[in-house]
């Protein structure tokens, strides 16, 4: 069994060495590392979104559950696509929990489930962080590695995260000019507390 496993690893390495796509082995290895960092981010965001979806409560429970269900499906697809890109470059995707916890660049700790405003803000913050990392990584792919294919892949993923962030940002929220706060309309008392001083003059 050991010999067989060793034989398989040797064959996989030979297959990787034979890749002729205009990127040498060190370039591809750097890209594998970059994309596996992305997988760690997507993994943590997927798990956090799933956690919120399982435990969301409140008057608009069904609405939130539907939104989070859709976003977990999208994130699951992103993970598969990132893993596929790594395989295209002759690498191995690291989908272990240990890797995700050790390499994710976003926070994994969830917020208070009793506050839907905080839940949406937390997810929004995570998507925005992923967008920033994707933008930086896409620039590196072009400038450092000369890999326009991975750059295009990351930019495409970036725009999809921007769309998900926009959905969270423009949910049923109200923004009061000059107040310095965003107030969720599910809390009318909080909205009035901010608005009334301005109306009173």
Determine the pLDDT at residue 1.
Answer: 43
- How confident is residue 19, by pLDDT bands cut at 50, 70 and 90? confident
Contact by Cβ (8 Å): 72, 45: no
Residue 93 near residue 29 (C-beta atoms within 8 A):
no
Neighbours of 183 (CB within 10 A): 20
**Quick check: 40 pLDDT over 50?**
yes
Confidence category of residue 110, pLDDT binned at 50, 70, 90? confident
pLDDT at 86 over 80: yes
pLDDT at position 128: 97
pTM score, whole prediction: 0.76
Please name which of 1, 25, 35 lies closest in space to residue 141, comparing C-alpha atoms: 35
What is the arithmetic mean of pLDDT over 51-65?
82
Could you tell me the pLDDT band of residue 152, with boundaries at 50, 70 and 90?
very high
Amino acid 160: pLDDT: 98
pLDDT at 137 over 80: yes
How many residues in the chain? 201
Give the whole-angstrom CA distance, residue 151 versus residue 157: 10
The mean pLDDT value for 98-126 works out to 86
Q: Write b or e for each residue in 24-61: b if 16 or more Cβ atoms lie within 10 A of its Cβ, otherwise e.
A: eeebbebbbebbbbbbbbbbbbbbbbbbbbeebeeeee
What residue ranges define each of the domains in the chain, with the CATH number in brackets? 22-170 (1.20.1260.10), 172-201 (no CATH)
């Amino acid at each position: 069994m050991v010999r067989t496993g060793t034989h398989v690893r040797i064959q996989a390495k030979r297959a990787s060495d034979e890749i002729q796509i205009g990127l040498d082995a060190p370039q591809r290895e750097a890209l594998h590392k970059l994309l596996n960092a992305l997988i760690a981010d997507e993994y943590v965001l997927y798990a956090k979104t799933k956690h919120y979806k399982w435990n969301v409560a409140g008057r608009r429970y069904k609405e939130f559950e539907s939104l989070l269900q859709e976003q977990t499906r999208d994130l699951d697809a992103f993970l598969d696509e990132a893993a596929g890109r790594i395989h295209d470059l002759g690498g191995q995707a690291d989908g272990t929990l240990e890797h995700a916890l050790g390499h994710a660049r976003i926070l994994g700790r969830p917020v208070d489930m009793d506050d839907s405003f905080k839940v949406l803000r937390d997810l929004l913050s995570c998507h925005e962080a992923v967008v920033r990392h994707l933008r930086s990584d896409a620039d590196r792919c072009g400038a450092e590695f000369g890999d326009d294919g991975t750059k295009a892949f990351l930019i495409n993923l970036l725009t999809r995260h921007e769309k998900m962030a926009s959905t969270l940002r423009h949910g049923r929220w109200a923004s009061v000019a000059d107040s310095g706060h965003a107030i969720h309309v599910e809390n009318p008392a909080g909205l009035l507390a901010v608005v009334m001083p301005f109306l009173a003059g």
